[in-house]
Structure 1
Amino acid sequence: MQFTSTRGRIPPTSIDVALVAGLAPDGGLYVPTCFPRPDFSVPAPSLAAMATRTLAPYFADSALRERLDAICVDAFCFDAPLRPLDGAADHVLELFHGPTAAFKDYAARFLARALEALRDPAAPPTTIVVATSGDTGAAVAAAFHRRPGFRVLILYPEGKVSPRQAHGLECWGDNVVAYRVDGSFDDCQRLAKQALSDEALRAQVPLGSANSISLGRLLPQAAYYAHTATDYHARHGQPLNFIVPTGNLGNASAAFVARAMGAAVGEIRLACNANDTLPRYFAGDDYAAQPTRTTLANAMDVGAPSNFERLRHWHADDAALRAAFVADSVDDATIRDTIRAAPDRHGIVPCPHTATALSVLQTLREGGDTRPWAVVATAHPAKFESIVEPLVGHAVEPPPALVECLARPATATRLANDYRALVAALGT
């Protein structure tokens, strides 16, 4: 299978080239030239097995073809359980059981193992440049930590992530360096993209990406949607609809990929915070990036979602794209109310991002929607204890992996919101 750029100014290439490059040379995002249709008619025995089934067509011509199953077993070694909520048709898909308690652990681990397998041992080290609004950086750091031939440079907006998220970005050391950028996530993302598209810089410093702009992040995330939807359809005979907390649109794009490949994914609803670039667009406004607003659901504080470019590429025009999704905006006051009510209403304690999706679910139910819905829980609530605990009135016990992370010392360096400062940090 071949892969091309959303901007159409490069010839098709292999998945191995696309994984190593991260960003296409013309500044676009890599996409497959078509969507394969594997057999999703029967469930797989495990999430890892479904990951192999989902990804195998994309890797048919890859140097990783014979190693794909082993990579998936290693990367998808923790479950993504679909749990019923207090409501016959209400569910939560828990994606926070990995080493950094966030959904990004699955694909980050896959990408790290894939890039390691593709790497020439004689080549100079590759620097993975990652912009993060809270959770991506920690997942990438954990996946690449102490992995020979790689270093990780994390860019995160100073003061705009939770204290525990910041600790998770800063506690690795060794080949991982965290930088606190004086700006927003969109600023961090702009700096990372500028570096990745700077051919002169890349001639001096081998660079790679682990943000959701990377094909190696997007495609593996389709696996847990295919796994969940296939299992649900086998048990109930109908598609499962998903409400996805949405910032940079990578997770929701993965749900779209699973559906385009034939998995029994129903409607995909986008739950956004007060950063309403997407709700404005899907309501009919022209697409226009907005200045980033700081919210309680900080990992979704994105005013210019990168993966919008992929969604637009996959649809004939704006009308077709708007017909495929609905996006809702949830403000901080509603997030607080939803967290406060969730233990009694749903039987769970959600993180602020999951709460945006729960709020959308409540609106759907109040409007008479009776279809089965799964709220996608993207992070463990203990990562946001300063927000969640006062609202639910008790401590939220962190998972063991988060406890281990918090026990390590943490350090980061300030970085000016300036491309020259990033170039200097890269050691040129």
Structure 2
Amino acid sequence: MHCVSTRGRTPRTALARALVAGLAPDGGLYVPERIPTLDTVQPGATLADTARAVLAPCLDGPPLRDALPALCAQAYAFDAPLRPLARRGDHLLELFHGPTAAFKDYAARFLAGTLARLRPADAPPTTILVATSGDTGAAVASAFHRRPGFAVVILYPACRVSPRQAHGLECWGDNVRTFRVQGTFDDCQRLTKQALADDALRARLPLSSANSISLGRLLPQVAYYAHAALRFFAAHGEPLNFIVPTGNLGNACAAWLARRMGLPVGALVLACNANDALPRFFAGEDYRPRPARATLANAMDVGAPSNFERLRHWHRDDAELRAALRAFAVDDAAIADTIRQAPARHGVVPCPHTATGLHVLERLRAEGDARPWAVVATAHPAKFESIVEPLVGQALAVPPALAATLARPARGEPLAADYAALRRQLQAPA
């Protein structure tokens, strides 16, 4: 597979080189030059089997083609079950069974394995720079922790993640450094993009990214949509529709890609929190990034979603894009009420992000939509116990992998939302 930039000022690039670079030289995001069609793929016995079939046309050259079975076996070692909810036709796609209890685990592990295989044995260490609104950083840290040839630098917005999320970002040590940025996620994202576009810095320090701006994060996420949709279609003979809780739009872009590749994915709806740049756009307003607002669903506190650039690239114009997706904003009061009512209404306890999706599902049902829907459950509710437990009136069991993370000592460093400050830290001796 070859890739091009969304901004059109970078020559076509081999996938392996695009994965290593993270961001295109012109500041755009890499996308496949041609999106493969998968009209003969059958559901595999396991998620790893399906992932291998779906990703094979993308990783069609050496050395990744030969490594694909091992990459999939390692990255998709835990399931992504499609769980029926209390109401017939309602489902939850549970993506929180990995080591950091969030959907980012699948793609982070796949990317780590991929970059390790692409890195020459005699190359200097690569620094993986990642901005996180709560979950990406922990998944990337887990995937690269103590991996030879790599260092990880995490930027997260101070005081804007849950206590357990913060602990999961700061508890690694060794080859992982974590900075509490005095700003928003959008500030963290801006700093990351500045570093990746800094040619002088990259000449001295090999840099890559593990944010959803990386195509190496986006492509692996197609697999779990493919697995759920193929198995559902085989059992019911109709496409499965998805509601995707959305912040930086990477997970939603993966769902769109799955549909575009010919997999039986039906309608796609974005569930946003009070950061409503996307709902406003899909309602007909001009797209305008907005300052990020702090909400209960903090991992979606994004005012300028990077992957919107990919969506625009993939559609002829805004009218075609608006016809492809719908988006709804869910405020904190609705999130809290949905969490409170979810055990009785749906038979589950959701995290605040999953609750945005459940609220949108309830809205669609109230409108008379009778199609089968799956809400994407992006994180385990135990990561947000200070929000969820008071609302449901019970303590939440902590998954063993998350408990192991919380048992580790944690240490982060403060950082101003200033690129010069980040540049100094990146060049400081380890």
TM beyond 0.5: yes
User: How far, CA to CA, are the matches of 1:301 and 1:403 in structure 2?
Assistant: 25
1:323 is matched with 323
Number of residue pairs matched? 428
Give 3-state SS (helix, strand or coil) of 2:231's partner. helix
Structure 1 residue 64: deviation in Å? Answer: 1.2
For 2:411, the aligned partner's letter is: T
For 2:237, the aligned partner's letter is: G
1:307 is matched with 307
Segment drifting more, 36-45 vs 125-134: 36-45
Give yes or no for contact 1:40–1:262 (8 Å, CA) kept in 2: no
1:392 is matched with 392
Structure 1 residue 8: deviation in Å? Answer: 0.5
User: How far, CA to CA, are the matches of 1:336 and 1:60 in structure 2?
Assistant: 46
**Where do 5+ consecutive residues of structure 2 fail to align?**
none
1:207 is matched with 207
For 1:296, the aligned partner's letter is: L
1:58 is matched with 58
Give yes or no for contact 1:129–1:210 (8 Å, CA) kept in 2: yes
1:161 is matched with 161
1:68 is matched with 68
Give yes or no for contact 1:271–1:357 (8 Å, CA) kept in 2: yes
1:412 is matched with 412
Structure 1 residue 61: deviation in Å? Answer: 2.0
2:228 is matched with 228
2:380 is matched with 380
Give 3-state SS (helix, strand or coil) of 1:361's partner. helix
Structure 1 residue 2: deviation in Å? Answer: 1.1
User: How far, CA to CA, are the matches of 1:30 and 1:228 in structure 2?
Assistant: 26
For 1:27, the aligned partner's letter is: G
1:15 is matched with 15
Give yes or no for contact 2:240–2:373 (8 Å, CA) kept in 1: yes
1:147 is matched with 147
User: How far, CA to CA, are the matches of 2:83 and 2:39 in structure 1?
Assistant: 25
Give yes or no for contact 1:141–1:152 (8 Å, CA) kept in 2: yes
Q: Does 1:83 align with 2:83?
A: yes
Give yes or no for contact 2:135–2:299 (8 Å, CA) kept in 1: yes
2:131 is matched with 131
- TM-score, normalised relative to structure 1: 0.99
- TM-score, normalised relative to structure 2: 0.99
User: How far, CA to CA, are the matches of 2:58 and 2:81 in structure 1?
Assistant: 25
Give yes or no for contact 1:180–1:414 (8 Å, CA) kept in 2: yes
Structure 1 residue 316: deviation in Å? Answer: 0.3
Runs of 4+ that moved beyond 4 A? none
1:235-268 alpha-carbon deviations (Å, 9 max, x no partner): 0000000000000000000000100111100001
Give 3-state SS (helix, strand or coil) of 1:88's partner. coil
2:46 is matched with 46
For 1:244, the aligned partner's letter is: V
Percent identity, aligned pairs only? 70
Structure 1 residue 42: deviation in Å? Answer: 2.5
1:88-132 alpha-carbon deviations (Å, 9 max, x no partner): 100000000000000000000000000001101111100000000
For 2:272, the aligned partner's letter is: C
Give yes or no for contact 2:41–2:54 (8 Å, CA) kept in 1: no
Give 3-state SS (helix, strand or coil) of 2:56's partner. helix
Structure 1 residue 298: deviation in Å? Answer: 0.1
User: How far, CA to CA, are the matches of 1:41 and 1:64 in structure 2?
Assistant: 20
The correspondence of residues 266-281 of structure 1 with structure 2, limited to 5 A, is 266-281=266-281
Give yes or no for contact 1:35–1:260 (8 Å, CA) kept in 2: yes
For 2:44, the aligned partner's letter is: A
User: How far, CA to CA, are the matches of 1:3 and 1:417 in structure 2?
Assistant: 32
Segment drifting more, 240-249 vs 29-38: 29-38
For 1:288, the aligned partner's letter is: R
For 2:243, the aligned partner's letter is: I
Structure 1 residue 39: deviation in Å? Answer: 4.2
User: How far, CA to CA, are the matches of 1:37 and 1:324 in structure 2?
Assistant: 18
The correspondence of residues 333-372 of structure 1 with structure 2, limited to 5 A, is 333-372=333-372
2:197 is matched with 197
Q: Does 1:100 align with 2:100?
A: yes
For 1:262, the aligned partner's letter is: G
Give 3-state SS (helix, strand or coil) of 2:285's partner. coil
Give yes or no for contact 2:213–2:306 (8 Å, CA) kept in 1: yes
Structure 1 residue 386: deviation in Å? Answer: 0.1
1:269-323 alpha-carbon deviations (Å, 9 max, x no partner): 0000000000000000001000100000000000000000000000000000000
User: How far, CA to CA, are the matches of 2:84 and 2:63 in structure 1?
Assistant: 40
Give yes or no for contact 1:225–1:258 (8 Å, CA) kept in 2: yes
For 2:29, the aligned partner's letter is: L
CA-based RMSD:
0.7
**Where do 5+ consecutive residues of structure 1 fail to align?**
none
1:70-103 alpha-carbon deviations (Å, 9 max, x no partner): 1111100000000000011000000000000000
2:219 is matched with 219
User: How far, CA to CA, are the matches of 1:96 and 1:374 in structure 2?
Assistant: 15
For 1:251, the aligned partner's letter is: N
User: How far, CA to CA, are the matches of 2:421 and 2:96 in structure 1?
Assistant: 34
The correspondence of residues 22-41 of structure 1 with structure 2, limited to 5 A, is 22-41=22-41
User: How far, CA to CA, are the matches of 2:53 and 2:300 in structure 1?
Assistant: 30
User: How far, CA to CA, are the matches of 2:43 and 2:132 in structure 1?
Assistant: 34
User: How far, CA to CA, are the matches of 2:193 and 2:158 in structure 1?
Assistant: 19
For 1:17, the aligned partner's letter is: R
